[in-house]
Amino acid sequence: MRHLIFVLPLLAAMILGAADARAQAQLYAGGYGGLNIAHDADTNTGQIMTMDLGFGFGAFVGGRVTPNVRLEGEIGYRSNDLESLGGTAAGGDVTSLAFMANGYYDIPVQSAVIPYVGAGIGVADVEMNGLRNDSDTVFAFQLMAGGAIPVSPNVALTGEYRLFATEDPHAGNLHYEYVNSGVLIGIRASF
């Protein structure tokens, strides 16, 4: 229920923006990849779970609904090896496959780099292998900030920071936090 306070205003803005500008939509698609940093995770056992640096990548398709507002659907994958649980070495990994609905605002500035901010909501299947072997599908959200450099009228290169988090997934009787920071580069092509 607490997530509705965050989600409802975002959904309302996305729906109103889409309704006002359906005829103006400019479609685009693209992908991204880069470094995924899993934050130290509190668990229901009181122990801290740590993970090594990992990677993330994804693809998206969307539309520009006003000159500065974009809406998109995204599929993203993240993977990090387990380092330790409660200070004891742990083997295995934690991965996630997320399906997200994102909204972006391109900040209008006179610059070679077009800055943007965004937010998204969706679901993620978070899977732990090794320490425990289990997966859980949970609510997910993300916040993004970055910049796009147009390299042609229809293609832009992007650099972005992304904070991705979910409700606490379960792996057997272990409940743990799942929060990631991504440092990503990508490409977006309009058509």
**Whole-number average pLDDT of the chain:** 91
pLDDT at position 11 over 60? no
State which amino acid sits at residue 191.
Answer: F
Does 104 score more than 80 pLDDT?
yes
Is pLDDT above 80 for 33? yes
From CA 76, how far away is CA 100, in angstroms rounded?
8
Q: Are 27 and 190 in contact (CB under 8 A)?
A: yes
For residue 57, name the pLDDT band (cuts at 50, 70, 90). very high
| Out of 20-24, 87-91, 168-172, least confident range | 20-24
pTM for the predicted model, two decimal places: 0.86
- The full set of domains in the chain, from first to last, is 2-190 (2.40.160.20)
51: how many CB neighbours lie within 10 A of its CB?
23
Give the whole-angstrom CA distance, residue 41 versus residue 63. Answer: 35
